[in-house]
Structure 1
Amino acid sequence: MSIGIWIFIIFFIYFGTAPLISHFVYKSLKFSKLPQKKRYIGFWVRFGAGVADTFILVVVGFVLGFLIQIILYDTNFGPGSDYILGIVISWSYFCLSHSSKYQATIGMKMCKIKICDQNFKKITLGRATLRYFSAPLSGIIFLIGFLMIGFTKKKQGLHDLITKTLHINK
């Protein structure tokens, strides 16, 4: 097979698998009504939380990369090993934080944001993982999936609509 076919297959697996799984798992779930004291969080507050989380991940990634270079001096795991390590660190930070009892990353805690499902319950690790791998789909076409947060009724991006998650004020 040609390289173009392999690129298409990898592209479909990376950007298509999580949204398809989410669609089939969560398509029959209904949203409940918002309690009186809660409100949906908009684009700019979520953007600020994202900037804080990105800064934290850059610092953690730099420190871990430096420690790995010191401990495993002159060891080469092959091309792409740094990329895979970055995905694992990022996945564990976001998914484990979103599915924890706090329902938020450090940046989200600073902005008083909490992530929940359509019934305002804590999301599972599986749903957090599907949301994490659906997020690149929001940014693939000029970030339109992220900009949707400012224009939808429940302040949801494309990845939130796919996995039926909400961001609410604590």
Structure 2
Amino acid sequence: MTNPPPGWGNQSFATSSAPFGDTMGNGQNPIWVYAGFWWRVWAFVIDAIILSMVETALGFFIAPDITVQWQELPGDSTGQTMDVVDIASIAGSAMPRPETISVLLPHIHTGNWHNASVILALVPALYCILFEASALSATPGKILCRLKVVTLAGARISLARAALRFVVKAFLSFPLLYIGVLMVAFTRRKQGLHDLVAKTLVIRQDVSRITPFQPQP
């Protein structure tokens, strides 16, 4: 193949300006290995587990108090609640009917969930945006799977680009039947809809056969 696609030895992408690119130990041009669909699924699962544990622990501190109040409602021996006429007749009689029983109905009262819901919704956003825009260029799940999120030139992504990537992922890629996510399996550079919009790539490093490229100062 005389003109390989970007990321597989193409000189236009294999430049020293790409700090996250990889170069072969034998001095050949840098090679980027795009993260495949299943690698990204495993990274997502790991991140989801971590986020669920964080949100569960956080919920103990910010969740509103829940109280239960019990209301006594008269009923008959058949288990049917009584209407107003029956209740009035029992109350006016000197001797209550022996078949009369009481039914306790619970009423659950919670505090204001608004602030807690906003905070819990911000946790995954901050988690993804701050980690991917940091020097790590990856969430903990991606780090464990040796993945990094970079720009099309291989540079570290900005906070704005990371935020755009998350918003598109959360409100388009996931809700629309996961079509935006499934695109990873069919696009040339393994990009989802959020990657295409934010102009990012997810690359994978195989440390067993490549050496991280060190840019010149």
TM-score range, shorter chain: 0.7 to 0.9
Unaligned runs of 5+ in 2: 1-11, 15-20, 22-29, 67-109, 206-217
Residue type at the aligned position of 1:53: D
- How far residue 109 of structure 1 moved from its aligned partner, in angstroms, is 0.5
Matched residue, 1:33: 13
Identity rate, percent: 37
Q: Decide whether the 8 Å contact of 2:62 with 2:116 is kept in 1.
A: no
Tell me: higher relative CO, structure 1 or 2? Use CA pairs within 8 A at least 6 residues apart.
Answer: 1
Matched residue, 1:153: 188
Larger relative strand fraction: 2
Bigger Rg, structure 1 or 2: 2
Residue type at the aligned position of 2:60: F
For each residue in 1:43-101, what CA deviation from the matched residue of structure 2 results, as whole angstroms up to 9, or x when unmatched? 100000000000000000000111234xx76793x344333112211111100000000
Listed as ranges, the matches of 1:129-168 within 5 Å are 129-135=163-169, 136-168=171-203
Q: Counterparts of 2:46 and 2:126 in 1: how far apart (Å)?
A: 16
Question: Which consecutive aligned stretches of 4+ in structure 1 deviate over 4 angstroms post-superposition?
Answer: 72-75
Residue type at the aligned position of 1:57: L
Q: Decide whether the 8 Å contact of 2:184 with 2:191 is kept in 1.
A: yes
Matched residue, 1:47: 41
TM-score by length of 1: 0.74
For each residue in 1:135-169, what CA deviation from the matched residue of structure 2 results, as whole angstroms up to 9, or x when unmatched? 12012322111000000000000111001010001
Unaligned runs of 5+ in 1: 1-31
Larger relative helix fraction: 1
Residue type at the aligned position of 2:182: L
